[in-house]
């Protein structure tokens, strides 16, 4: 027993060190098919543990169909469904491709992805680009002409400018931006306002040199980068994936390395328990909905942006983002209390991601499934809320089901005998 | 008695409304001599109530002499002193020229100033430009070749770019930037990090169009604008002056419209008490000093950046800036407690400048001298600290002497009979 507890502590410290020593650097932005391994033209990725195509329901199913149409893999909805049924269009899980999905998390072959290299450990992660602030978005289960136009705007107008500017740099380290943004009111999941401006600052010299050949398109890219709090989320997510992946597969570690939703429920993976997803029902949610929406509309259609919480950001850094009250509800006192409580279930305090409002204490980092089961304190996650008819209808704080952690803890005890 | 109290309440509400309805807009940046009324080539402005030249001592005296040398009004220190003694070089008070001085607050004729128009009430205020992050600066009582080079860099290289970009706009409203920055960790006096980035964002489209003719100089200007937390302070100060001036001269009002230091002490002005400065000794200070400096070096050489506190920012918005602990010392708990205490001495809560960490409560705004005297709660001001040998040696929190408020309260009672 004592021996195993020591071993677990040691393994978790190693996993924690991998998380905290990670050095995510944005190195490129390119179409998924060019860069993401095994991404065929007929591949569509979506959030959460793999499901048979027929098990996808609601907005997540609609989002997959929308992805097929956007990618011109079918001429209409009927043909898309037929091809999905026949396996001619292949549905994959984001995490299996080094990607992380925002909400429904649809990736198609032509969509550009941020390429983030973990310079400390050599692994690479990807995240696609924010569609813009219209609540009707493909990753919220909506596909129509407006969604299509915005997706095309992103890939044809916004991304090329960022790509060109980026290629003049030696890569943009994301950790310093995240560190600084935590002192500027962001928690890097549901609020990324300062991070976007700090990212802009890094890119400005290169954007200026591009402007010689006409500033209009550069202005449009800058607007896309800074007009909404979610642009940088995709960089925070890619950084999160590059960071969390470095902590995978450590024998004996009970630390969570991924959490994800699909339309069927919540799931998590543990460093010392291989690639198994421990699945459970949906999370409980405290939401603040946009005007004109009600609780009964709340709908689950996937989500992997909770990679932020996996590495000690988002809900684990809420005390850094008092202004988030306005967006997702709850008082700042509650946010601080919730944030502090999470130290009970984490392996350590982040040496880089510090919370000024907690006297520069490091964020609680590295969720230990056994500590969750023992304390019954559940992780806190800051997410956008999707509606029954698609589109974003609000934002809120969710807690995963305890049963996932219990199932993972059982498997851990079975494997490691403690 | 009752009648007078009502009259005071009414006058203060009017003064408060002037503060809070003010709409400061940056409209230009030009040399002081071109724009500031009555600014002759031989004028040098400095912080605080007017003093005879012979009364200026220490770093403030050195800064005035440095200003004369920078402006080439004398070939050396001896000649500068002789001309100042003879009145050939004229020393003026910033506030008398619509300006506000950062620390020693030296303005000379060739120095560029931000021109801020209060679009709600038509008045205009000015503030000159931050010299850069080197602790040895003219406004900290130092003048040498390095200081001169940096001042010239600002006026010859940095400002022309900003001016050119600015003239393509219809003016940049500063209130929306300040509002937003309060949710991003700034209090707009000793911390302006987010505000600088938000200001950059406003200017980027115009900077990009300038870059067609060579991006290097634009890059340098962007760097100057965003590398340090003090660039935006000068805009915050000009906005503060434009705002506070709109509330001057309201019969019956006991609200403070200006606070200032010179080398001799602290002083304040009151809306209903004309142009009189109520003077007192120096403020008390809780400082955090840069490595290698000690308390006995702390030196007073003027300062009017406390216009920020006059309009409900800076020390009156400390709860917005938890990261400021690192820079000026003190815990966040203390900052919150101090911030809350100030509601006891202010006329109202700012309808625009909101503090997310206090549940979006408006900052305590409009200092009422009678409330200060009654409660003995003194204003809190976030300032940079100058050293005996010149230069910035730290930052801290200061409280003005109660005696100034008592003197002003006596004058108020004498004039208004209550």
Query: How confident is the model over A164-177, as pLDDT tens digits?
Result: 999 999 999 999 99
Amino acid B78: pLDDT: 98
Instruction: Give the global pTM.
Output: 0.90
C-alpha distances (whole Å) from B97 to each of A203, B126, B217 are 40, 8, 32
**Considering only alpha carbons, which residue of chain A is nearest residue B360?**
A323
For residue B226, the distance in angstroms to the closest alpha carbon of chain A comes to 8
* Mean pLDDT computed over every residue of chain B: 93
Q: Which of B317, B359, B354, B321 is nearest to B338 (CA)?
A: B317
Residue of B323, B324, B330, B340 to mutate, interface with A, max A Cβ within 10 Å: B323
* Optimal mutation site among B196, B197, B209, B217, interface A, most CBs of chain A within 10 A: B197
Identify all chain A residues contacting B357, using CB atoms and an 8 Å cutoff: 322, 332, 357
Selecting from A197, A200, A211 the residue whose C-beta is nearest the C-beta of B211 gives: A211
Nearest-CA residue of chain A relative to B330? A359
Token pair belonging to A255: 């630390």
B332 and A185 in contact by Cβ < 8 A? Answer: no
Percent of chain B whose predicted confidence (pLDDT) is above 90:
87
- pLDDT number for residue A3: 59
Among A23, A4, A241, CA closest to A128:
A241
Chain B interface test: which of A204, A214, A320 (most B C-beta within 10 Å): A204
Check CB contact under 8 Å for B222 and A200. no
Q: Is pLDDT above 70 for B417?
A: yes
Q: At what angle do helices A145-153 and A58-70 cross, to 10 degrees?
A: 60
Q: Which residues of A touch B212 (CB under 8 A)?
A: 211-212, 215
Share of chain A above pLDDT 90, in %: 87
Distance CA B139, CA B381 (A): 18
Q: What is the pLDDT of residue B213?
A: 72
- What are the structure tokens assigned to A203, written together? 């890119």
Using the beta-carbon criterion (under 8 Å), do B205 and A222 form an inter-chain contact? Answer: yes
DSSP SS3 for A251: coil
DSSP alpha helix (H) spans, A323-368: 325-328, 332-341
**Contact assessment for residue B97 and residue B260, using Cβ atoms and an 8 Å cutoff:** no
> How does pLDDT run across A365-381, given as a tens digit for each residue?
999 999 999 999 999 99
Name the CATH topology of B24-237: Enterococcus faecalis V583 fold (3.90.1710)
3-class secondary-structure state, position B21: helix
Q: pLDDT per residue over A339-372, tens digit each?
A: 999 999 999 999 999 999 999 999 999 999 999 9
Q: Which two tokens stand for residue A68?
A: 């097929």
Q: Smallest Cβ distance to B184: which of A184, A200, A359?
A: A184
Structure tokens at B248: 């001057």
Sheet bearing B265-270, strands edge to edge? B256-262, B265-270, B278-280
Contact criterion met (CB below 8 Å) for A386 and A348: no
Separation in Å, CA of B184 to nearest CA in chain A: 4
Query: In which element (H, E) is residue B125 found?
Result: strand B124-128
For helices B402-416 and B2-21, angle between their N-to-C axes, nearest 10 degrees: 120
Domain borders along chain A are: 1-418
For residue A174, the SS3 value is coil
Question: What is the interface pTM, i.e. ipTM, of the complex?
Answer: 0.87
Predicted confidence at residue A140, as pLDDT, reads 93
State the pLDDT at residue B4: 76
3 state SS of B315? helix
Q: Report whether pLDDT(A240) > 80.
A: yes
- Report whether A56 contacts A64 (CB < 8 A): yes
Q: Calculate Rg over the CA atoms of chain A.
A: 20
- In the structure, what pLDDT confidence band is assigned to residue A229 with cuts at 50, 70 and 90? confident
Cα–Cα distance, A103 to A86 (Å, whole number): 26
For residue A1, pLDDT over 50 is answered with: no
Quick one: how many helices (H) and strands (E) in chain B?
Answer: 15, 15
pLDDT number for residue A254: 97
The reply to whether residue A219 touches residue B211, judged by beta carbons under 8 angstroms, is: no
User: Would you call A332 and B215 a contact, using CB atoms and an 8 Å cutoff?
Assistant: no
pLDDT for position B210: 86
Handedness of CA A376, A381, A387, A393 (dihedral sign): positive
Query: According to the model, what pLDDT value does residue B212 have?
Result: 75
Residues of B in contact with A226 (CB under 8 A): 201
Mean pLDDT throughout A202-216? 84
Q: Give the helix/strand (H/E) hosting A347.
A: strand A346-355
Alpha carbon of B159: minimum distance to chain A alpha carbons (Å):
17
Which residues are CB-neighbours of A107 under 8 A, at least 6 positions away?
A: A32, A36, A39, A43, A44, A45, A46, A67, A94, A97, A99, A101, A113, A128
Strand A361-367 relative to strand A346-355, pairing: antiparallel
Residues of B in contact with A204 (CB under 8 A): 200, 204, 207, 219, 222
Phi, psi of A78 (to 5 degrees): -60, -45
What is the residue-wise DSSP string for B196-243? HHHHHHHHHHHHHHHHTT-SHHHHHHHHHHHSSTTTTHHHHHHHHHHH
**pLDDT given for residue A175 in this prediction:** 95
User: Nearest by CB to B359, which of A331, A358, A360?
Assistant: A331
From chain B, the residues in CB contact with A215 under 8 A are: 205, 208-209, 211-212
Tell me, what's the pLDDT at B302?
93
Q: Quick one: average pLDDT of A47-68? A: 96
* Interfacial residues of A (vs B; Cβ cutoff 8 Å): 183-186, 193-194, 197-198, 200-201, 204-205, 207-209, 211-212, 215, 218-219, 222, 226, 322-323, 325-326, 331-332, 356-360
Is A208 within 8 Å of B209 when comparing Cβ atoms?
no
pLDDT at B3: 59
| Closest A-chain CA to B204 | A219
Q: Measure Cα distances from A282 to A263, A375, B19, B179, B332 in Å.
A: 8, 20, 50, 38, 37
Q: Does the pLDDT value for residue B2 go beyond 70?
A: no
DSSP run (H or E) holding B81: helix B77-85
Tokens 């005297």 locate to B373
Please tell me the distance in Å from B232's CA to the nearest CA on chain A: 15
pLDDT, one tens digit per residue, over B201-255 is 999 988 988 887 777 888 888 888 888 778 899 999 999 999 999 999 999 999 9
Write out the DSSP string of B246-296: TTTT-TT--BEEEEEEETTEEEEEEGGGTT--EEESPPEEEEEE-TT--GG
What is the β-pairing status of strands A112-118 and A172-173?
Answer: unpaired
User: Cβ A212–B215 below 8 Å, yes or no?
Assistant: yes
Q: A355 forms bridges with which residues in the sheet? A: A361
CA distance linking residue B396 with residue A29, whole number of Å: 44
pLDDT digits (tens, 9 = 90+) for A90-118: 999 999 999 999 999 999 999 999 999 99
Contact A215 B201 (CB under 8 A): no
Task: Indicate the average pLDDT of chain A.
Answer: 94
CATH fold of B253-416 reads v583 fold (3.90.1700)
User: In Å, how far is A63's CA from the nearest CA of chain B?
Assistant: 34
How many Å separate Cα B392 from the centre of its chain? Answer: 16
Mean pLDDT, range B308-322, rounded to an integer: 96
**B263 touches B57 (CB < 8 A):** yes
Which of chain B's residues have a Cβ under 8 Å away from the Cβ of A231? Answer: none
Nearest Cα of chain B lies from the Cα of A18 at a distance, in angstroms, of: 27
pLDDT digits (tens, 9 = 90+) for A114-133: 999 999 999 999 999 999 88
Which chain A residue has the Cα nearest residue B227? A201
pLDDT digits (tens, 9 = 90+) for B78-93: 999 999 999 999 999 9
Strand partners, A259: A268
- Please give the Cα distance from A307 to A379 (Å, whole number): 12
Residue B274: burial class (beta carbons within 10 Å; 0-12, 13-18, 19+): exposed
Supply the pLDDT for residue B416: 94
The minimal CB distance from A212 to the residues B193, B207, B211 is found for: B211
In this structure, what DSSP letter does residue B359 have? Answer: T
What's domain A1-418's superfamily in CATH?
v583 domain like (3.90.1700.10)
Which range, of A163-167, A210-214, B316-320, averages the lowest pLDDT? Answer: A210-214
| Cross-chain residue pair B209–A197, CB shorter than 8 Å | no
Quick one: how many helices (H) and strands (E) in chain A?
A: 15, 15
Averaged pLDDT, A289-316: 94
Interchain contact, B208 vs A211, CB within 8 Å: yes
Question: Alpha-carbon distance A50 to A56, whole Å?
Answer: 10
Under a CB-based contact definition with an 8 Å cutoff, are residues A387 and A366 in contact? Answer: no
Proportion of chain B in helix, strand, coil states, percent, rounded to 5: 45, 20, 35
Residue A181 parent element (H or E): helix A175-181
Looking at residue A209, its pLDDT comes to 84
Phi then psi dihedrals of residue B65, to 5 deg: -60, -45
Q: Which of A409, A397, A396, A283 is nearest to A345 (CA)?
A: A409
- B133-187 residue pLDDT tens: 888 999 999 999 999 999 999 999 999 999 999 999 999 999 999 999 999 999 9
- Summarised one tens digit per residue, pLDDT across range B93-147 is 999 999 999 999 999 999 999 999 999 999 999 999 999 888 899 999 999 999 9
* Residue from B222, B26, B181 nearest A207 by CA: B222
Span A396-413, pLDDT tens digits = 999 999 999 999 999 999
The pLDDT score that the predictor gives to residue B290 is 93
A86: confidence class by pLDDT, cuts 50, 70, 90: very high
Instruction: Tell me: pLDDT of B278 over 60.
Output: yes
Measured CA distances, B105 to A217, B7, B160, B234, B312 (Å): 42, 36, 22, 11, 21
Strands A43-46 and A90-93 come out as parallel
Buried b (16+ CB within 10 A) or exposed e, B276-306: ebbbbebbebebbbeeebeeebbbbbbbbbb
């Amino acid at each position: 027993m004592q021996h195993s507890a020591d071993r677990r502590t040691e393994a978790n410290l190693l996993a924690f060190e991998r998380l905290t020593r990670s050095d995510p650097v944005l190195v490129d932005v390119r179409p998924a098919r060019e860069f993401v391994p095994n991404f065929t033209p007929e591949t569509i990725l979506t959030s959460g543990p793999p499901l048979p195509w027929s098990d996808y329901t609601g907005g997540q199913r609609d989002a997959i169909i929308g992805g097929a149409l956007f990618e011109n893999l079918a001429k209409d909805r009927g043909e898309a469904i037929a091809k999905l049924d026949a396996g001619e269009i292949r549905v994959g899980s984001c995490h299996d491709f080094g990607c992380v999905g925002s909400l429904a998390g649809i990736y198609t072959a032509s969509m550009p992805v941020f390429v983030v290299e973990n310079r400390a450990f050599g692994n690479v992660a990807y995240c696609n680009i924010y569609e813009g602030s219209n609540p009707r978005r493909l990753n919220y289960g909506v596909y129509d002409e407006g969604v299509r136009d915005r997706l095309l705007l992103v890939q044809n107008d916004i991304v090329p400018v960022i790509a060109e500017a980026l290629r003049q740099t030696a890569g943009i380290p994301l950790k310093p931006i995240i560190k600084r943004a935590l002192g500027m009111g962001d928690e890097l999941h549901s609020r990324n306002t300062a991070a976007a401006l700090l990212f802009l600052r890094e890119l400005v010299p290169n954007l200026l040199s591009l402007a010689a050949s006409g500033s209009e398109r550069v202005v449009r890219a800058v607007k896309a980068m800074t007009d909404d709090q979610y642009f940088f989320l995709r960089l925070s997510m890619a950084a999160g994936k590059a960071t969390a992946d470095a902590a995978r597969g450590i024998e004996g570690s009970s630390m969570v390395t991924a959490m994800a939703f699909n339309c069927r429920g919540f799931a998590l993976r543990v460093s010392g328990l291989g690639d198994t997803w421990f699945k459970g029902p949906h999370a409980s949610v405290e939401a603040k909905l946009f005007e004109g929406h009600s609780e009964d509309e709340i709908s689950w259609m996937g989500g992997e942006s909770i990679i932020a919480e996996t590495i000690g950001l988002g809900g684990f850094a809420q005390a850094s983002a008092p202004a988030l009250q306005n967006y997702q509800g709850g008082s700042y006192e509650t946010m601080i209390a919730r944030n502090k409580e999470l130290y009970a279930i984490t392996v350590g305090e982040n040496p880089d991601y510090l919370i000024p409002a907690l006297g520069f204490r490091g964020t609680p980092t590295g969720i230990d499934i056994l500590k969750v089961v023992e304390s019954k304190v559940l992780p806190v996650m800051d997410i956008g809320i999707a509606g029954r008819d698609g589109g974003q209808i609000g934002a809120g704080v969710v807690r995963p089901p305890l049963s996932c952690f219990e199932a993972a803890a059982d498997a851990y005890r079975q494997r490691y005998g403690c």
